[in-house]
């Protein structure tokens, strides 16, 4: 290990620990817990930075060792967010790592082609969907998973030796659990077949959803048997949202977590063009079967859910948080769900992106959000922003504007 690499990482670890021990972090933990326990004291505010191009640029990184360079980038991004943006980010006084897990495929190749835009970005992509006829469903195979405990432990030991005296390294397990069954369905058959097979080949859709349901359950059962799960009711992000702090799930113990102790993220963006009735018939039962194994559910991402919410909550009654995308009817959701869930509101990304933010549109969005969800459990999370052309101060300006509007209610 180069001395410069070690010095760089230790300096970042020391700064991370300083930030984590600030009194504001304990207060934010308490307020996030109150929110997820459905007794919110105020709307919580986050700005996700991991999608931002060049939020931390390659030229800023100094470490040459691949592992330390990866850690350096993650540390620098979190420190920058905590120091610059001023949102409700929580920095914990440890460095968490998860297990190195590998999986076989579904028995078919799913090639991906990425497009390069005029600025060299690789945001756009397309799949070559392998299942083109119902007969080809027979090509699908059960997936197999394996964990590399030796490599995980070596990684933990290296990081502990490098900066563990400053920032403890915790092998916490696998925590951010996702079960978007219809995203896998889309990759396998594509959007056209997803829509037309509901009429022309309904049994094929049922077979595929059963296969994907069983695949996810098999994976989660394997992780539980192997002791690979970690509690995610702490600082781990759950869903397309925020930290999972809550007292509604068992606190972390000395042993591995169980599925029923955890949050699960379930969503179905790909079925937005499908009627609520057909969604409830073909997709929701498999989704609910997976959700049943878990303690709490974060539901949704970019899809509007207001037209099918009553079906969803009847099938998955332990939803604790629901994503309110820019295309969701805010007032209708507030009327239907009240204080029974956390509303995870996502503003529209376009007004803050590009060369010049549209501050009038950004302000109006927050005003409408606060009016619709007055008295509710609310978090406001700006996400899916990709380009701000190096203008990082606009992120803090949005947070401060949002906080001012919250206080002025």
Read off the pLDDT of residues 127-154 as tens digits, 9 standing for 90 and up. Answer: 899 999 999 999 999 999 999 999 999 9
Q: What are the backbone dihedrals phi and psi of residue 223, each rounded to the nearest 5 degrees, phi first?
A: -65, -40
What is the model's pLDDT at position 175?
Answer: 83
Q: What is the pLDDT of residues 114-129, one digit of tens each?
A: 888 777 666 788 889 9
**Alpha carbons 322 and 154: distance in angstroms, whole number:** 38
Check residue 151 and give its pLDDT.
97
The strand pairing partners of 44, in sequence order, are 379
Q: Which domains does the chain have, with CATH numbers?
A: 3-407 (3.20.20.210)
Q: Is the pLDDT of residue 221 over 90?
A: yes
Phi, psi of 157 (to 5 degrees): -65, -40
Q: What is the pLDDT of residue 251?
A: 84
pTM, whole model, 2 decimals? Answer: 0.96
Which pLDDT score, from 0 to 100, does residue 125 have? 82
Please give the average per-residue pLDDT across 240-253, as a whole number: 90
| Beta carbons within 10 angstroms of residue 406's beta carbon | 17
pLDDT of residue 254: 62
pLDDT for the residue numbered 253: 74
Q: Residue 167: its pLDDT value, please?
A: 98
Nearest to 239 by CA among 181, 178, 295: 178
Radius of gyration of the chain (CA): 22
For residue 235, pLDDT over 90 is answered with no
pLDDT at 95 over 70: yes
pLDDT digits (tens, 9 = 90+) for 47-81: 999 999 889 999 999 999 999 999 999 999 999 99
Pull the structure tokens for residue 405. 């509007």
Q: State yes or no: pLDDT of 239 exceeds 70.
A: yes
Q: Is the pLDDT of residue 255 over 80?
A: no
Residue 74, token pair as written in the block: 């993650």
Question: Distance (Å, rounded) from C-alpha 249 to C-alpha 303?
Answer: 27
**Per-residue model confidence as pLDDT tens digits over 290-316:** 999 999 999 999 999 999 999 999 999
pLDDT tens by residue, 161-202 = 999 999 999 998 888 899 999 999 999 999 999 999 999 999
What is the pLDDT, as a whole number, of residue 311? 98
Q: Which residues contact 90 (CB under 8 A, 6 or more apart)?
A: 25, 28, 29, 32, 235, 243, 245
Write the DSSP assignment of 145-197 as a string of letters.
Answer: EEE-HHHHHHHHHHHHHHHTTTS-EEE--B---B--HHHHHHHHHHHHHHHHH
Secondary structure element (H or E) that encloses residue 254, with its range: none
**Phi-psi sector, 159: left (phi>0), alpha (psi -120 to 50), beta:** alpha
Bridge pairing between strands 242-243 and 237-238: antiparallel
């Amino acid at each position: 290990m180069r001395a410069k690499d070690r010095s760089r990482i230790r300096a970042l670890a020391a700064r991370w620990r300083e930030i984590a021990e600030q009194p504001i972090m304990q207060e934010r933990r308490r307020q996030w817990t109150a929110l997820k326990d459905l007794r919110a004291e105020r709307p919580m505010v986050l700005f996700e930075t991991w999608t931002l191009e060049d939020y931390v640029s390659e030229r800023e990184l100094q470490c040459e060792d691949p592992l330390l360079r990866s850690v350096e980038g993650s540390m620098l991004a979190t420190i920058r967010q905590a120091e610059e943006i001023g949102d409700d980010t929580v920095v914990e006084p440890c460095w968490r790592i998860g297990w190195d897990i590998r999986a076989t495929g579904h028995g078919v190749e799913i090639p991906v082609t990425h497009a390069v835009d005029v600025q060299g970005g690789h945001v756009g992509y397309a799949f070559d969907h392998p299942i083109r006829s119902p007969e080809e469903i027979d090509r699908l195979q059960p997936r197999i998973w394996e964990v590399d405990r030796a490599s995980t432990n070596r990684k933990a030991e290296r990081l502990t030796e490098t900066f563990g005296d400053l920032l403890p390294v915790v092998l916490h397990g696998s925590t951010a659990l996702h079960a978007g069954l219809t995203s896998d369905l889309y990759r396998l058959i594509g959007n056209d077949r997803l829509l037309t097979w509901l009429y022309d080949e309904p049994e094929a859709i049922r077979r595929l959803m059963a296969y994907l349901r069983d695949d996810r359950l098999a994976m989660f059962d394997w992780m539980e048997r192997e002791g690979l799960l970690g509690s995610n009711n702490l600082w781990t992000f759950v869903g397309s949202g925020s930290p999972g702090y809550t007292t509604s799930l068992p606190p972390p113990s000395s042993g591995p977590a169980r599925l029923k102790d955890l949050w699960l993220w379930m969503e179905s963006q790909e079925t937005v063009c499908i009627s609520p009735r057909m969604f409830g018939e073909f997709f929701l039962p498999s989704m609910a079967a997976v959700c049943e194994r878990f303690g709490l559910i974060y539901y949704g991402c970019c899809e509007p859910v207001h037209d099918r919410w009553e079906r969803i909550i009847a099938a998955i009654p332990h939803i604790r948080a629901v994503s309110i995308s820019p295309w969701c009817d805010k007032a209708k959701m507030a009327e239907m769900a009240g204080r029974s869930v956390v509303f995870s509101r996502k503003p529209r990304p376009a007004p803050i992106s590009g060369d010049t933010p549209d501050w009038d549109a950004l302000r109006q969005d927050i005003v409408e959000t606060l009016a619709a969800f007055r008295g509710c459990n609310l978090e406001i999370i700006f996400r899916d922003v990709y380009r701000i052309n190096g203008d990082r101060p606009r992120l803090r300006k949005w947070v401060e504007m949002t906080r001012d509007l919250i206080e002025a209610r």
